[in-house]
Amino acid sequence: MVNPIKKAVQKVYKSLKKNKLENSEGVYNEWAKEKEGSVDFFEKKLHKGSMDKRLNSKAKLRKDVRGYLPKDQKELKLLDVGAGPITRLGYNWEDRIIHIEAVDVNGDLYQKLFKKHNITPPVITKNSEAEKIHELYEGETFDFAFSRNALDHCYDPIKGIKNMVDLIKPQRYAVLLHRRNEGLSQGYRGAHLWNFDVEQDQVIVYNPSKKYKLREELSGVEVQYKLEQTPKDEWIYVEIFKK
């Protein structure tokens, strides 16, 4: 049974946080306040050993990612946006040469975290907001761009998505993988500032201050989606194909 006092507190907190997200300035302020909160979370995961697979340089490239990559290209360059301390993409695929660039708003802090624990990850996460990754790389550099459970933590997720599209080559994919309506389900606690959902067959990104329809925000692309139910969560895959 749900504790009625706890439920009432959560309701009040959710209402207060929603009020703070009523405009773009409020969203940015909440992002700035909460953005470093994940560092302690990942340090605990390091202690538990639950990040060992991601640190294994022999790990295979994710099977779902392989399906988006050109089959006849020997050397591939991939971008992981909001990667956290270490990419989830994996590193090896048959005889292909895989180059991975990982970025995260806490990249510098994660580098310090690994140094503290005397760990050298296979790919070092660089420091960058999703909204500013275009300052790190030239346009049409990558064969694939990926973001998992990260853009809903941004102050401007649409800017981040547009940057991802700009950075991939034509005839390539950017894929976004997020829990459906994560901000809403978390009561907009912590860095959960936005939601990804589907409305009238349109992918939408929204919070109390704004709602975006992804197909209307992006040009020169095809946007498709698919929903996947897991035992704990429902996920939305957004596939953006650059023409």
Task: pLDDT tens for the chain, 243 residues: list them.
Answer: 445 444 443 443 444 455 567 666 766 677 667 666 678 888 888 888 889 999 999 999 999 999 999 999 999 999 999 999 999 999 999 999 999 999 999 999 999 999 999 999 999 999 999 999 999 999 999 999 999 999 999 999 999 999 999 999 999 999 999 999 999 998 888 788 999 999 999 999 999 889 999 999 999 999 999 999 999 999 999 999 999
Q: Are the CB atoms for 72 and 66 separated by under 8 Å?
A: no
d(CA 220, CA 158): 15
d(CA 60, CA 70): 17
pLDDT of 208: 87
- Give the three-state DSSP class for 78: strand
pLDDT of 22: 63
Per-residue tokens: 135: 């300052």
Domains annotated on the chain, with CATH: 4-242 (3.40.50.150)
The residue behind tokens 């209402």 is: 15
Burial of 185 (0-12, 13-18, 19+ CB in 10 A): middle
Q: Are the CB atoms for 233 and 177 separated by under 8 Å?
A: no
Which amino acid does the sequence have at 58?
K
pLDDT of 217: 98
pLDDT of 12: 38
Q: Are the CB atoms for 111 and 140 separated by under 8 Å?
A: no
- Give the three-state DSSP class for 29: helix
